[in-house]
Amino acid sequence: MIKKISRPDVAIIVLTRNAGALWSQWISGIQQQTIQAGRYLVLDSTSTDQTAQQALAAGLEVYSIAAENFNHGGTRQLAAELCHGSEYLVFLTQDAILDEPESLELLLAQLMDKQVGMAYGRHIPHPQASLIEKHARSYTYPETSAVRSKADLESLGFRAAFSSDVYAAYRASALRSIGGFPEHIIVSEDSYVSARLLLAGWKVVYSADSSVRHSHQYSLLQIFRRYFDIGVFHASEATLLRGIGKPDKEAWVYVRSLITYLSQRRKRLLWLAALQTLVKLIGFRVGKLYRYLPAQWCQTLSLQKAYWYAEPNSWEQSWLYGEMSRALKPKKLSVPSSLLKPSVQSLRSKPISAIS
């Protein structure tokens, strides 16, 4: 029997949208953890399957927002504010499965050092993942843990600022100190936050001992769109990234590692790896030039459709994108008690005094 450790100061947060077959595994993984958190919050983008119902049956709090108003930064900011009383915020995605009972305990242990602003864990690929994807996981999330600080930006560049909120724990006070998650960002909100934390003097920890099972199998079109969005991020956040380092050199180090990896295991996959690399490069370069493209083209090429709205089209999007820059200031969020029940709460009309 697993001995539970009560942590009322911890909130577990997951963003969902039609979580599918893996969702029951996600719930089981959370339930088997040694850590018993104070809050378990699901922020759902109007799923049409049984995601919300399964979460409620497991005793999780569920909030619903319109899918078209999802934003990687703003929605996480909203979730953080709904857990405003928690000292530590653990973010996961719906496809990040906790197989080891002590994973959360090991990740949160990294925050015992009061200089650590965030910690993120290792990604172990699914057994059925392709060799190319397995290499991506092992390269990006190695077996050795690492602690990074502002001093590492000079030597490691962009690599020092990399992190993943697929599975990450944040010190709420550190997050507040940098203004929280960016209110309107296309992707890479995790690396944006870790970069800001490092520049502000906080430490970022990669904990190889704490892991989740997580990997993807993208088509070439999905790869192009994903890297188009990453290119948009690098163009949009050029000012911040200039102080960190360019990603291009790191990319070629990865390519050389992939060639070696496949050459030793399955050479016939080298052509596919080369094609995927070319698609990534083209997507990234086109994304960096997004300002020169028609808005409709950008929305078509992007995976993140809602990002391209010219103006907020509802109070909800306006709230997320317009007011959230103030949300993680030292002020407290005043949310009506009626919104804090363990049932589906649909944020379709603006809560009274939602931001104090």
- Per DSSP, the residues of 181-202 read S-SS-SS-HHHHHHHHHHHTT-
Please provide residue 123's backbone torsions phi and psi, each rounded to the nearest 5 degrees: -105, 120
Q: How far apart are CA 332 and CA 27, in angstroms?
A: 30
Q: 264-292 pLDDT, tens per residue?
A: 999 999 999 999 999 999 999 999 999 99
Nearest to 232, CA basis, from 317, 305, 298, 321: 298
Distance of CA 328 to the CA centre of its chain: 18
Strand duo 88-93 + 116-124: pairing: unpaired
Q: 324-352 pLDDT, tens per residue?
A: 334 333 333 333 333 334 445 655 433 32
| pLDDT(141) > 50 | yes
Which DSSP letter does residue 97 get? B
Tokens representing residue 151 in the block? 């001093």
Q: Which domains does the chain have, with CATH numbers?
A: 9-216+310-346 (3.90.550.10), 218-308 (no CATH)
Tokens representing residue 20 in the block? 């599918």
Distance of CA 266 to the CA centre of its chain: 32
Q: 212 - beta bridge partners?
A: 123
pLDDT at 154: 84
Q: 238-257 pLDDT, tens per residue?
A: 888 887 866 556 778 889 99
231 touches 284 (CB < 8 A): yes
Rounded (5°) CA angle 130-187-246: 85
Stated pTM of the model: 0.85
Q: 12-30 pLDDT, tens per residue?
A: 999 999 999 999 999 999 9
